[in-house]
Chains A and B, each alone.
Chain A
Amino acid sequence: MRARLRAALRILWWRVREWSGDAAYETYLARRGGGEPLTREEFYLDGLCRRYHSGRPDRCC
């Protein structure tokens, strides 16, 4: 029972990290294709650049 609760909490924590963007780098490392991976800092800045320089609104009124 305790193990199941711990597993559920772990999943919940991962979902919160996914939602907030905290886990984006881990997701990138797991999914990227070939080539040298970006460092965590490079990935963070690259993500911000793509998100905020797209010219598309991503926050509503």
Chain B
Amino acid sequence: MRRLVSSLAWLAVACLGAGALGAIALRRGEPVNGIFFVVGAGCTYLVAYRFYSAFLAARVLSLDPTRATPAERLDDGRDFVPTNRWVVLGHHFAAIAGPGPLVGPTLAAQFGYLPGTLWLVAGAVLGGCVQDFVVLFFSLRRDGRSLGQMARDEVGRRAGLLAMVSVLAIMVILLAVVALVVVNALKQSPWAASTLAATVPIAIVMGLYMRYFRPGRVIEASALGFLLILLAVVAGQWVAHSPEWARVFTLTGPALAVAVIVYGFAASALPVWLLLAPRDYLSAFIKVGVVLALAAGIVLVRPTIQMPALTRFVDGTGPVFAGGVFPFCFITIACGAVSGFHALIASGTTPKLLTRESDARLVGYGSMLMESFVGVMAMVAACALEPGVYFAINSPAGIVGAGAERAAATISAWGFPLDAGAMHELARRVGEETLLNRTGGAPSLAVGMAHIFSGTIGGESLLGIWYHFAIMFEALFILTVLDAGTRVGRFMVQELLGRALPGIARPGWAGTLVTSAIIVGAWGYFLYQGVLDPLGGINSLWPLFGIANQILASVALVVATTILIKMGKRRYLWVTLLPMAWLVTVTLAGSWQKVLHESPRIGFLAQASALERQIPEMPEAKAAEARRVVFNARLDAAVTAFFALLILALLAEAATEWHGILAGRRAAASTESPYVRTRWAEGSSS
């Protein structure tokens, strides 16, 4: 009887989810409410978790609840600590949720709400969650080994090196792109720039508090930091209204880029307790708080979706970034659906904390579902804006024209009515000079979030405060990634160069400064190039980041497939092979188009050639700028081609290994740690 009730309940959940997704997909010409997205995604996640993740746990991975985890076997109270599974879920979610699931869906909204939403939901349950779960499980069975180590041990030495190089490459592009999002959000905005600048001394005060006054008291210091940050958001309004201070904090894109580069260098070289750690703690609290508040806000406000299901830009002529819905929707939305970067986190701290092997299902599969839900909420926030407003904020001046009137005329001609006066009014209401051409996704997401938050608390009068709170939240998120990523990149450079120059790997200021300069110089170059790009930078750099991230996901799935073959799970190889094949197809198609597409807006080489032909007719100052853009376009083409070659090389390496094992020519040597029975199982049996 109970089984029948349970089956009927799950059938009802499945029907509800299918109904909501059907309404999203099939309604044309009628407005859709944001609550359909929440219900459709939520029900799909519940069904996927209950059935698909259970299938993966039982049949594919054969999770063994009697087997001791590394946290139990190697428990040292520091690195390896058996931890409550809900606490680990919180840890893991806070680690994987960054700006990506917020920005990617916002940018992909240019295709309409449908492609991105379907990819967020389907990509997560069939790809992203599977990747996170299997990598976490395999690392758990190998004492918490990293993805790179597993690639070397399971696929081969070259695969390990390829994984390491791809991690470093993605790091450089990732840091440049997220820094560019911050720069675009802060430029010409004294309120936002002063608020974010204030977070640096606030983090230092927190760092001093946790270092000297109350060592390790994270919650006290974070509460103090949060109050000071709220004060900084409010004070930013005064800064914006003060002619002297507003002048100081009204910064151009290049000036902000230099400031972010200097900041990144300082954060990489300074002691971690002073800046990086306090910012990280504060960011984790604000991140979880804002995500919960956004979910509650969407349920309470139930915003109507203004964006059509599909826009004319599915053909690749979109103003936010160029390229058709295939493959660019699946590259633009990486985090939120499938993100290779998660494989690094799943093979990092998390496997050292799990108390029971069965907890890997909740933490690996479950936290990725939560991240996907964040992406769906970002999509709702972006699509709740008037499409004309969305395109006005996210389109570069090079496409819609400079000035509100020209932008309004261009965007209205696309079929998205926009009134220049309404844009001025919206900017005034959120406390900005202008919202036009604020590419990168962060400002439009902040406008969407501000509408949702102000619909819940404070109404119209707090719209400006909520907008700048949202900008501060996104920028804080991003700077935390920038700090931590630069430092990790620095260690990777030290490790790579240390093989040839041992002196650089030794502890000391010289090595720290040199390697910090190398990694900051690498992402700083791409950042500066993006800032100077006449199409706003996001157009070229975000797809590059998406390609790099999805290639890393392919690396993780290649390693997972290899281990499944060695485990003798041949009949279940499709669980990793299908998402891997999709990602390889998407990344290779995307790389091909970014390098060789004949449209100058899509293909880097076509862009370089088109511009080069115009140089002889340009005045010298403009010609110099054009020559730099030509060089950068060719550099981007080379980087993209390098990514494509990387994945092809890894696939060739893995295919050789797979063929050898399947044909019986190679032993399927396992690198799993030996079985040790868990004391929890002993306790329960006694």
Residues of A at the B interface (CB closer than 8 Å) are 15-22, 24-25, 27-33, 39-41, 43-61
Contacts and interface: CB of A to CB of B under 8 A. Distances in A.
Contacts of A31: 75-77, 81
Contacts of A29: 77
B42 interface: no
Given A18-B83, A31-B81, A44 B215 contact: yes
Q: Is the interface of A mostly helix, strand, loop or mixed?
A: helix
Query: Which 9 residue pairs are nearest across A and B when measured between Cβ atoms?
Result: A31-B77, A55-B491, A44-B216, A41-B215, A61-B100, A28-B77, A22-B218, A19-B90, A59-B484
B229 to A, nearest CB: 16
A18 B84 CA distance: 9
A57 B84 contact: no
A39 B215 CA distance: 10
A58 B345 contact: yes
20 contacts: A15-B84, A20-B218, A20-B222, A22-B218, A22-B219, A27-B81, A30-B77, A44-B215, A44-B216, A44-B273, A52-B272, A52-B487, A53-B491, A56-B146, A56-B348, A57-B348, A59-B95, A59-B280, A60-B100, A61-B174
Contacts of A40: 215-216
- With most chain B CB atoms within 10 A of its CB, the pick from A18, A28, A56 is A56
B349 A58 contact: yes
B97 interface: yes
Given A52-B487, A60-B341, A16 B215 contact: no
B78 interface: yes
A27 B77 contact: yes
A17 B348 CA distance: 21
A52 to B, nearest CB: 4
Contacts of B86: 15
A24 B95 CA distance: 17
A7 B595 CA distance: 61
Interface of B: 75-79, 81, 83-84, 86-87, 90-91, 94-100, 146, 167, 171, 174, 178, 210-211, 215-219, 222, 272-273, 276-277, 280-281, 284-285, 334-335, 339, 341-342, 344-345, 348-349, 480-481, 484-485, 487-488, 491-492, 494-495, 545, 549
Contact of B79 (A21, A25, A50): A50
Given A18-B87, A61-B334, 17 more contacts: A15-B87, A17-B219, A18-B84, A20-B219, A20-B281, A41-B216, A44-B215, A45-B211, A48-B277, A50-B79, A51-B277, A51-B349, A58-B345, A60-B342, A60-B344, A61-B100, A61-B341
Contacts of B219: 16-17, 20, 22
B273 A48 contact: yes
- With most chain B CB atoms within 10 A of its CB, the pick from A15, A54, A57 is A57
Nearest to A15: B87
B341 A57 contact: yes
A46 B272 CA distance: 11
A61 B339 contact: yes
A58 to B, nearest CB: 5
Contacts of B77: 27-32
Contacts of B90: 15, 19
Given A18-B83, A20-B222, A60 B277 contact: no
A47 B99 contact: no
Contacts of B178: 61
Contacts of B341: 57, 60-61
A58 B487 CA distance: 11
Contacts of A25: 216
A39 to B, nearest CB: 8
